[in-house]
Amino acid sequence: MNYHVLTLFPEMIEQGLNTSILGRAREKNLITLQTTNIRDFSTNKHLKVDDYPYGGGAGMVMQAEPVYKAYEHVKEQMGSEKPLRVIYLTPQGKVFTQELAEEFAKEENLVFLCGHYEGIDERVLDRIVTDHVSIGDYVLTGGELPSMVMMDAISRLVPGVLNNDVSAEIESFHDNLLEYPQYTRPEEFMGEKVPEVLLSGHHGNIDKWRREQSVIRTAQRRPDLLKGANLTDKEKRIARE
Ligand code: 6GU
């Protein structure tokens, strides 16, 4: 997976994707990251990339030309045959979900366009953006953190990035259920024992218990997810309890 990020703050992206699992994935070239500073494509002598909005109003708008030139630069460098996915991070986009992460994980290249201020001139967005994506219903100061959130969620779906090849499948949101509770040593903490079944070594019973815990937890914490889950009649009764 090759990420290309168009941003005014490349160091923020570089630092964010340099640690732990993503850092290791980059060392192994399972994922690559190229950042392009939009400011490098300013044609203004003061390297300005924004201006006042036509029609008035608060804040500044990022100008079309430097964004377009940065995009062309990235496209040229890649020489990609396939049509490119260019993701614009905006609270006005479609909300990012696990399903969307799975869709993007199938691509070989992804371009992220990070805006700042009051947004980017619509004319360049119309010409280059294929996907408008939001990470949730709240407003952030720029697209950098959302792009990192997306790259994290997508990267862990790339084969080899997690050392454990089953864990990406059985976690939260598999079958629209939240993950079951986990325990590790010691067997007793502050007087509370680990559930007996987990010590039994009986994997049939353990799977059954975990599935039931997932259903209960989802019903309590995220009942909105249950309508997309595939529950047996017995599990539906458990969810109603
Ligand atoms: Cl993608 N961008 C900004 N600026 N704010 C957001 C967002 C994106 N998603 C949620 N809030």
CATH number at residue 19: 3.40.1280.10
81 and 37 together in one domain? yes
pLDDT (average), residues 208-217: 97
* Residue 86 is assigned to a ligand binding site: no
Residue 72, domain member (yes or no): yes
- Taking CA atoms, 113 is separated from 98, 119, 153, 157, in Å, by 20, 11, 17, 21
Q: Domain limits at 134?
A: 2-155
CA of 170 to the centre of ligand 1 (A): 28
13-68 confidence digits (pLDDT tens): 999 999 899 999 999 999 999 999 999 999 999 999 999 999 999 999 999 999 99
CA 36 to ligand 1 centroid distance, Å: 20
ipTM of predicted assembly, 2 dp: 0.95
Q: Is the CB of 135 under 6 A from ligand 1?
A: yes
Same domain? For 22 and 54 the reply is: yes
Question: Are residue 74 and residue 12 in the same domain, yes or no?
Answer: yes
Spatial contact of 19 and 127, defined as CB atoms under 8 Å apart: no
Q: Which are the contacts of 196, defined by CB distance < 8 A and separation ≥ 6?
A: none
The answer to whether residue 140 is domain-embedded is yes
**Beta carbon of 139 within 6 Å of any ligand 1 atom:** yes
Q: Mutual orientation of helices 20-27 and 144-155 as an angle, nearest 10°?
A: 70
Measured between alpha carbons, how far is 224 from 25 in angstroms, rounded to an integer? 34
Instruction: Say if ligand 1 is within 6 A of residue 111 CB.
Output: no
Tell me the pLDDT tens digit for each residue of 62-99: 999 999 999 999 999 988 778 899 999 999 999 999 99
On average, the pLDDT of the chain sits at 95
Check pLDDT > 70 for residue 168. Answer: no
Q: In the numeric block, which tokens belong to residue 22? A: 């993503």
Indicate whether this model's pTM tops 0.90.
yes
One domain for residues 105 and 188: no
Residue whose CB lies within 8 A of the most ligand 1 atoms, among 132, 134, 141, 145, for a mutation test? 134
Please report the pLDDT score of residue 94 as a whole number.
98
125 and 191: one domain?
A: no
Query: What does the alpha-carbon distance between residue 207 and residue 221 come to, in Å, rounded to a whole number?
Result: 21
Contacts of 213 (CB under 8 A, 6+ apart): 180, 181
pLDDT of residue 76: 93
In a domain, 132, yes or no: yes
Answer with the one of 155, 188, 214 that is the final residue of a domain.
155
Flag whether 138 is marked binding. yes
- For residue 142, the ligand 1 atom closest to its alpha carbon is 4
Separation CA 215–CA 203 (nearest Å): 18
Residue 235 is assigned to a structural domain of this protein: yes
Contact predicate 36/5, CB 8 Å: yes
Q: What tokens appear for 196 in the block?
A: 């007996």
Residues 210 and 94 in one domain: no
Residue 117's contacts (CB-CB under 8 Å, 6 or more residues apart) are: 50, 59, 60, 61, 62
Domain co-membership, 25 together with 101 = yes
Number of domains the chain is built from:
2
Best of 12, 90, 133 for a ligand 1 pocket test (most atoms within 8 Å of beta carbon): 90
> In the structure encoding, which two tokens stand for residue 37, read together?
């500073």
113 and 194 share one domain: no
Please state the rounded mean pLDDT for residues 210-221. 97
Same structural domain for residues 192 and 86? Answer: no
Residue 162 placed within a domain? no
